Chain A
């Protein structure tokens, strides 16, 4: 099946949804392709407190409002998982189910995906005690012990969040210095349910055949190991850009992030990047929506002139 548009946006997070608003308001026939729930990382965020004008709001609410807004000027929401983009006068966006979307301009706003621990027992226990979203799955661990892996803002914030359900939350960090902001570190340190374990790395995830039953950690300096009796494990060790389908296009940096100019355009004409998927300093909702607006506006001007 082939579908034609003026402008195709891949990813319906804040960047993609904003681009959809700007492009459709400008009169471009716009599609937004998403493989999961529209909203992107907002859906995994318990509370947003740095969206100007709103002091505190659940991420879900902002996601639903943005999604409704993004399709209100005629942009079409399409479900699909993109596997390849073929450049040409009209770019072809090919989905795994065989659907082909065609448009002269394409914006990639696919964001990032949580990095795996890559230790034994991880892959087979995803959804059976290993979760990359505390906000989504935290409540399944009421009264149980869980471990959070990582020492950055996300790890510590999620650990504090998990204490409302879990009986005990271990934070496992490789180093003895925190990457997280002081205010976040202080909150984690003063929480009586949290135990911080430093200079340790996860080595293996244990299970009872049905569910996670423990985490083996090792202390490289002391050359010793320990088994933590946890039933939930939440890795927060960073994220990687979702750009596998762009590998043949020479628009990525050495870490796989998209390289774009001030108009959010890549070295390929009318191929754009916006939001967390781009090489940038600050990955936030406010910077993502900025990217989306800039990209859509540039697409409009270039298509109008051509």
Chain B
């Protein structure tokens, strides 16, 4: 399932009300580790259909970023049934992300 880029208006529907688990990534276009993680997420998106990968650009979605208290990018959240089950900051490799999603 391709990676979904969303804005804050779509957040509730695409993330909190998603029927599939969501791997949520708050990123910035100017952040190095975010780009590295971005590549991993693209690959992960192409390889599986079990969970949804959603990306939020913090500079385009300031209110949402503030609401989620994001002060480091990348910040990733593992969400199931509208609840945050796990989270991490910084780059993570594919195997670790997959493991975290499988643990939900």
Residues of chain B whose beta carbon lies under 8 Å from any beta carbon of chain A: 28, 30-33, 35-37, 39, 58-59, 71-73, 89-93, 95-96
Which residues of A are found within 8 Å of B93, using beta-carbon distances?
77, 79
Closest to B36 in A: A37
| Contact across chains for B32 and A136 when beta carbons are under 8 A apart | yes
For the residues of B in contact with A, the DSSP-based class is: loop
With A79-B93, A139-B28, A139-B59 as known contacts, state yes or no: A39 contacts B36, CB within 8 Å. yes
- B32 and A43 contacting across the interface, CB-CB below 8 Å: yes
**Are the C-beta atoms of A60 and B28 separated by less than 8 Å?**
no
Interface residues on A, range: 20 to 34
Is A127 at the interface (CB under 8 A from chain B)? yes
Do B28 and A59 have beta carbons less than 8 Å apart?
Answer: no
- Contact of A43 with B33 in the complex, beta carbons under 8 Å: yes
**Closest residue of A by beta carbon distance from B65:** A140
Given contacts A59-B32, A140-B71, 7 further A-B contacts (CB under 8 A): A37-B36, A38-B36, A43-B32, A64-B36, A128-B71, A137-B71, A139-B59
Nearest chain A CB to B103's CB is how many angstroms away? 15
**How many contacts A-B (CB < 8 Å)?**
55
Q: Which of A63, A77, A136, A211 has the most CB of B within 10 A?
A: A136
Whether a CB of chain B sits under 8 angstroms from the CB of A135 is yes
Check if A36 is an interface residue, CB within 8 A of chain B: yes
B91: chain A residues within 8 A (beta carbon)? 36-37
Q: How far is the CB of B31 from chain A (nearest CB, A)?
A: 6
Asked if A69 is an interface residue, CB under 8 A from chain B, the answer is no
Question: What residues of chain B lie closer than 8 Å to A59, measured between beta carbons?
Answer: 32
CB-defined contacts of B28 to chain A, threshold 8 Å: 139
CB distance from B67 to the nearest CB of A (A): 14
Residues of A close to B35: CB separation below 8 A = 60, 64
In the complex, A135→B28 CA distance in Å?
A: 11
* Closest B residue to A43 using CB positions: B32
Q: Which of B33, B58, B71 contacts A37 (CB 8 A)?
A: B33
7 pairs of A and B residues whose beta carbons are closest in the complex: A37-B91, A43-B32, A60-B32, A37-B33, A79-B93, A37-B36, A60-B35
Nearest B-chain residue to A68, judged by Cβ: B39
A67 surroundings in chain B (CB, below 8 A): 36
Closest chain A residue to B40 by CB distance? Answer: A37
- Bound-complex Cα distance A139 to B32 (A): 13
Q: What residues on A are CB-neighbors of B32 within 8 Å? A: 37, 39, 42-44, 58-60, 63, 135-136
- Counting chain A CB atoms within 10 Å of each CB, the highest count among B33, B39, B96 belongs to B33
Determine if A64 and B39 form an interchain contact, defined as CB atoms under 8 angstroms apart: yes
Query: 8 A-B residue contacts at CB 8 Å?
Result: A37-B32, A37-B37, A37-B91, A58-B32, A60-B32, A60-B35, A128-B71, A135-B30
Contact between A79 and B36, CB atoms less than 8 A apart: no
What residue of chain B has the Cβ atom nearest to residue A140's Cβ? B71
Give chain A nearest CB distance to B19 CB in angstroms. 30
Complex Cα distance A129/B71, Å? 8
Would B96 and A79 count as touching, CB distance under 8 A?
yes
Q: With the chains together, A11 CA to B58 CA distance in Å?
A: 29
The answer to whether A136 touches B37, judged by C-beta atoms less than 8 angstroms apart, is: no
Contact string against B for A residues 134-148, beta-carbon threshold 8 Å, 1 for contact and 0 otherwise: 011101100000000
Q: Which listed residue (A43, A128, A211) contacts B36, Cβ 8 A?
A: A43
Least CB distance from B58 to A in Å reads 8
A211 to B72, CA, bound (A): 13
CB-CB nearest in chain B for A63: B32
**Which has the most chain A C-beta neighbours within 10 Å: B35, B37, B58, B95?**
B35
Q: CA separation between A241 and B71, bound complex, in Å?
A: 27
What's the Cα separation between A128 and B31 when bound, in Å? 18
